[in-house]
Structure 1
Amino acid sequence: MGAEPLPASNNNNNNDNNDDDNHSNGGEAPLVLGLQPSALIDHVARVYWSLLDQIPGERGGSIPVALEELEHLLSEVKTHILSSADESSPVKTMAGGSVANTIRGLSSGFGISCGIIGACGDDQQGQLFVTNMTSRGVNLSRMRMKKGPTAQCVCLVDEMGNRTMRPCLSSAVKLQADELTREDFKGCKWLLLRYSIFNLEVIQAAIRIAKQEGLFVSLDLASFEMVRNFREPLLQLLESGNIDLCFANEDEATELLRGEQTADPEVALEFLAKHCKWAVVTLAANGCISKHGKEVVRVPAIGESKAVDATGAGDLFASGFLYGLVKGLSLEECCKVGSCSGGSVIRSLGGEVTPENWHWMHKQMQIKGLPVPGTRSS
């Protein structure tokens, strides 16, 4: 198939969280494995509204574009940059995608051994993805490199911190369902997925093998558009009983129960908890609600209300929540860690937390009496 596996990473990350459950070397299975069929590069920029007014589609949405449109947008960005004293570069380029954001956060901010499975192209963007993820300690031995382009996305952030996305995915290389093997999942404890109708076949195959290998499965509901337009296959996934943990934001949660008399986040949480061991609904500035068994908790948001860029807030919330589960914390503590890590990423551009903001997060965790990564309680 013209695909070759990449070498495993045994790099240390930029933080000092090097306890012995930190990063796996090439020979060990990562504790948490993320499935992202197509590697993705994000180009993130803060821009004036005037640029958003020029491009087709709703502000705040995500509409696929062709490569020519993506390149045109990137050239237009340069003349519409919203200047900011604290940003060293007007456009930040980094590995992107919801699963990659969560995995990178778990690895670099929490010191949990993580890997990613998917495909990247043999181009400059593919090399960027590999360099970014390996430098954060993520094991890429399950990534396949294929001939062809790597997926890209332009993320335009307005003055209010809201983002408008234009992904270029159509011609990008992608991992196929028949390329997955049991060896890919052996020894891992968690599989992280993001719902997408375009990846449904590979998601279903991954869940099937993960369950054969005894993994827990976590699913993020992706976007309210994805839930609205492809609700039936999603309901089938949830009702299969194979999803152990589900993350939804408020819009996705209410969209899931569209047509019900009371389609509010609390009702959606109850619905998700019927099918999943853990259910979480994030409520932006209002924090989150979560349920496990009969226990329900509500935790407020942490940090300033004004976001520089909301990109990755849900992804990094998932990093913190999963860290809590891996460490055996209570449901309330898992939510609090998630709120701390979700709050850390919105303080700067893009879905990757800066070293300064990891320090901010660790301080918030200390204030709340939560176990800080890199410190051993036993």
Structure 2
Amino acid sequence: MGCIGDDEFGRKMTEVATAEGVNVRYQVDASTPTGTCATCIVSSERSLVANLAAANNFKLDHLLLPENLALLHKARVVYCTGFFITVSPASIEHVAKHCAENDKIYAMNLSAPFIVQVPPFKKVLMDSMPYIDFLFGNEIEAAALAASEGWEGLSLEEVAKKMSRMPKANGCRPRVVVFTQGCDPTIVAVGGRVSRYPVMLLAKEELVDTNGAGDAFVGGFMSQLVCGKDIAECCRAGNYAANTVIQRSGCTFPAKPTFTWN
């Protein structure tokens, strides 16, 4: 779910997503254009400038529409990006508590360092933490989180362990904290225990565009999680998806997979 403008760009987004089999449930804001993001890529490194526009106007009322609430009640796994923290904390609270009360999986991504550096946004994240079953982030976001908690000097593994041990509202499962770190192994902490999962390495000349790598990783990870696979397989799928995206310009996948998944 999200919010788009009543414009050509918003309609195209809906059309493309629907064609790919995604059941989009956008709130339409007729008074605000669809959000956009400019990306500058230099030697495979990127910088982003976002204009949230309509994306900043999502309201809890849209989530609570019967047809949308029915989708939430049917879902077994719910994922939210950290960027949504700046938009509708009330929606996050409603969904997170629903998942905890009904023994569903709730996952969240830190998404950007500023989420933990800006006090009002950090508060929303920490208020949500008891309900988060899977927490994702990269090494930069994890370092910002550690600094905001006064954990300077701790290794990435120790930060992941501390986050995994924070109290949970639903005691049916431990929290899983997943930190990616580029070409270095993915770190996963569960119940205070850390595992490392290797990534698929690329030659420097094969790296085209890192934009979307983190989202691709989570997409691959979640694709196996909903199928009941273990953490190792989830990480393998996540790293495969990220590896594929960074070899292409823009957040795109090839029409056919580059190898058979087995």
Same fold (TM over 0.5): yes
The answer to whether the 8 A contact 2:2-2:55 is kept is no
Map 1:279-318 → 2, pairs under 5 A: 279-293=177-191, 296-306=194-204, 307-318=207-218
SS at structure 2 position matched to 1:153: strand
1:136 aligns with 2:20: yes
Unmatched 5+ stretches in structure 2:
167-173
Instruction: Tell me, in whole angstroms, the C-alpha distance in 2 between the residues paired with 1:222 and 1:137.
Output: 25
Instruction: Tell me, in whole angstroms, the C-alpha distance in 2 between the residues paired with 1:271 and 1:125.
Output: 42
The Cα of 1:350 is off from its aligned counterpart by: 1.5
TM-score (norm 1): 0.59
**Closer, same or farther in 2 for the Cα pair 1:130/1:171, shift >3 Å?**
closer
The counterpart of 2:45, out of the listed 158, 162, 184, is: 162
1:273 aligns with 2:160: no
The answer to whether the 8 A contact 1:180-1:206 is kept is no
The answer to whether the 8 A contact 2:40-2:48 is kept is yes
Q: Which letter maps to 1:225?
A: F
CA displacement, residues 241-261 of structure 1 (integer Å, 9 cap, x when unaligned)? 211100011011121111324
The counterpart of 1:223, out of the listed 112, 118, 140, is: 112
The Cα of 1:163 is off from its aligned counterpart by: 1.2
Q: Which letter maps to 2:73?
A: K
The counterpart of 1:179, out of the listed 50, 54, 62, is: 62
Instruction: Tell me, in whole angstroms, the C-alpha distance in 1 between the residues paired with 2:124 and 2:28.
Output: 29
Q: How many residues align?
A: 242
Q: Which letter maps to 1:313?
A: A
Residue matched to 1:341: 241
Instruction: Tell me, in whole angstroms, the C-alpha distance in 1 between the residues paired with 2:162 and 2:197.
Output: 19
Report sequence identity in percent: 25
Which fold has the larger relative contact order, with Cα–Cα distance below 8 Å and residues 6 or more apart in sequence?
1
Superposed CA RMSD in Å reads 2.1
CA displacement, residues 103-158 of structure 1 (integer Å, 9 cap, x when unaligned)? xxxxxxxxxxxxxx122211011011101211211012x32223131111111211
Map 1:1-378 → 2, pairs under 5 A: 117-140=1-24, 142-148=25-31, 149-158=33-42, 160-170=43-53, 174-181=57-64, 182-196=69-83, 197-199=85-87, 200-230=89-119, 231-238=122-129, 241-258=130-147, 259-275=150-166, 277-293=175-191, 296-306=194-204, 307-356=207-256, 359-360=257-258, 362-363=259-260, 365=261, 371=262
Q: Which letter maps to 1:127?
A: R
Structure possessing the higher radius of gyration over alpha carbons: 1
The Cα of 1:269 is off from its aligned counterpart by: 0.9
SS at structure 2 position matched to 1:257: helix
The answer to whether the 8 A contact 1:303-1:340 is kept is no
The answer to whether the 8 A contact 1:278-1:292 is kept is yes
Instruction: Tell me, in whole angstroms, the C-alpha distance in 1 between the residues paired with 2:182 and 2:37.
Output: 23
Instruction: Tell me, in whole angstroms, the C-alpha distance in 2 between the residues paired with 1:179 and 1:171.
Output: 14
Higher helix share: 2
The Cα of 1:223 is off from its aligned counterpart by: 0.7
The answer to whether the 8 A contact 1:146-1:173 is kept is no
Unmatched 5+ stretches in structure 1:
1-116, 366-370, 372-378
**Closer, same or farther in 2 for the Cα pair 1:224/1:126, shift >3 Å?**
same
SS at structure 2 position matched to 1:165: strand
SS at structure 1 position matched to 2:253: coil
Instruction: Tell me, in whole angstroms, the C-alpha distance in 2 between the residues paired with 1:118 and 1:225.
Output: 21
TM-score (norm 2): 0.84
Instruction: Tell me, in whole angstroms, the C-alpha distance in 2 between the residues paired with 1:208 and 1:139.
Output: 23
**Closer, same or farther in 2 for the Cα pair 1:338/1:260, shift >3 Å?**
same
**Closer, same or farther in 2 for the Cα pair 1:171/1:119, shift >3 Å?**
closer
The answer to whether the 8 A contact 1:120-1:173 is kept is no
